[in-house]
Amino acid sequence: MKKIFSNLLLIISVCGVLISGYKLYQIFHEYHEGSVSYKELDKHVKIEKNEEKEKESPIKLNIDFQELLKINKNCIGWIYIPNTQINYPIVQSKDNNYCLHHLFNGKWNFTGCVFISDQNNGFEDKNTIIYGHNMQNGTMFTDVNKYKNQDFLDTHPYIYLAKPNGKTEKYQIFSAYTTEDCSDAYIINFATDTFMKQVESMMNKSEVKTENVSILDEDKIITLSTCTSRRQLERFVVHAVKISEN
């Protein structure tokens, strides 16, 4: 009887190891699949840059949107932050949850997409919310969390967005902080005379010091949002305002 019980425990232990091993394989496989999928899109992107003179000589993104739209008809832009992992197409769907768990090519994968909120009207609102996962392998929007560090902000102050119209927009970061999902950071449009008050509130919440950025009432901003992996509803956001386009 004892031998039977011992054998049963052994079988259960082996099954547990096999199941755990399979789950680990699935996780690593999806990470790899996601990375390879986005790497394949590099052939549709050409970046003209002079990083030593980035202030004076804006970066130009030449994106083959015609080809990208063949892969995903919901592609509406491309986001790039120099010397980071953030170099991805942007999509917009009628359902944010779809984007959270599907690659740009439409295949299910927990890596998901970089996407703007389904509440936004493209990039037409005062505040466009751009989401991306905080991945353990450093991809997608993991680098957004690095803006908690002053040195990182000082060396990565600009965000670039390419649009299908051929324009590359340059944004300067003016605030970065930890917040809650659905906080005021996610308001996309504002009542008359409240936009500048909200911008001031965003600046006051910043956990890092930013350069003096001139923001006018007629300006539009973008908000990068990702989870912090500490609490379920906790998010880290980066706000930036457009300063030029070419």
Q: Give the pairing type, strands 127-131 and 75-80.
A: unpaired
Contact between 188 and 176 under an 8 Å Cβ cutoff? The reply is no
For the chain, the distance separating the N- and C-terminal CA atoms, rounded to the nearest angstrom, is: 80
Q: Strand (E) positions, 99-233? A: 114-116, 127-131, 158-162, 168-180, 221-227
Give the pLDDT confidence score for residue 35 in this predicted structure. 86
Contact between 169 and 59 under an 8 Å Cβ cutoff? The reply is no
**Predicted confidence (pLDDT) per residue in 29-50, tens digit:** 576 788 899 999 999 999 987 6
Contact between 228 and 145 under an 8 Å Cβ cutoff? The reply is yes
**Predicted confidence (pLDDT) per residue in 70-94, tens digit:** 999 999 999 999 999 999 999 999 9
Give the pLDDT confidence score for residue 150 in this predicted structure. 97
Rounded percentage of the chain residues whose pLDDT exceeds 70: 85
**Predicted confidence (pLDDT) per residue in 211-237, tens digit:** 888 999 999 999 999 999 777 889 999
Predicted structure pTM score: 0.87
Q: Which two tokens stand for residue 46?
A: 């050409």
